[in-house]
């Protein structure tokens, strides 16, 4: 398989899995929407990727500076518009580990703010959908 190719596999009912780089990411729909609720929905995976990316940048920041990471925390929350039901706001709260150096506080926030998933939202790619014969 091409390393830039993500292969969709229909796994029964509303389960849709994606094979990529030797991994299989499983998704499903909630029971209330006809799925079996066996895995996160594709949109949930999107949100998870944002939170994981923020967490990675916080962790890498500390590890690169040899700062102990015990107690490091990242919590992401979302707010949806009442009418649109779309996510209007994403907040990422970083809790530095105990004894975190004061001089790095702003730099830690800036590091998390450079998450590559977020960067792709702010500068989205072009999308193209085609039918293959």
Q: Which of 125, 124, 115, 123 is nearest to 51 (CA)?
A: 115
Output the pLDDT for position 1.
Answer: 65
Encode pLDDT of 53-95 as tens digits: 999 999 999 999 999 999 999 999 999 999 999 999 999 999 9
Q: How far apart are CA 12 and CA 15, in angstroms?
A: 5
With vertex at residue 120, the alpha carbon angle to CA 60 and CA 23, rounded to the nearest 5 degrees, is: 65
pLDDT (tens digit per residue) in 86-123: 999 999 999 999 999 999 999 999 999 999 999 999 99
Position 103 in a domain: yes
CA distance 75 to 96: 12
Residues 31 and 85 in one domain: no
**Structural domain harbouring 8:** 1-39
Residue with tokens 């990242």: 74
Is residue 128 in some structural domain?
Answer: no
Residue 129 lies in a domain: no
Percent of the chain past pLDDT 70, that is, above it, reads 99
Same domain? For 62 and 102 the reply is yes
């Amino acid at each position: 398989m091409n390393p830039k190719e993500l292969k969709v596999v229909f796994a029964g009912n509303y389960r849709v899995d994606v094979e990529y780089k030797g991994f299989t990411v499983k998704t499903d729909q909630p029971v209330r929407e006809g799925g079996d609720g066996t895995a996160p929905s594709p949109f949930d995976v999107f949100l998870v990727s944002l939170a994981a990316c923020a967490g990675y940048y916080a962790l890498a920041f500390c590890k690169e500076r040899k700062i102990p990471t015990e107690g490091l925390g990242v919590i992401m929350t979302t707010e949806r518009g009442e009418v649109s039901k779309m996510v209007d706001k994403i907040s990422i709260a970083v809790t530095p580990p105990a004894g975190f150096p004061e001089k790095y506080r702003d730099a830690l926030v800036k590091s998390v703010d450079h998450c590559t998933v977020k960067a792709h939202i702010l500068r989205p790619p072009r999308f193209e959908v085609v039918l293959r014969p």
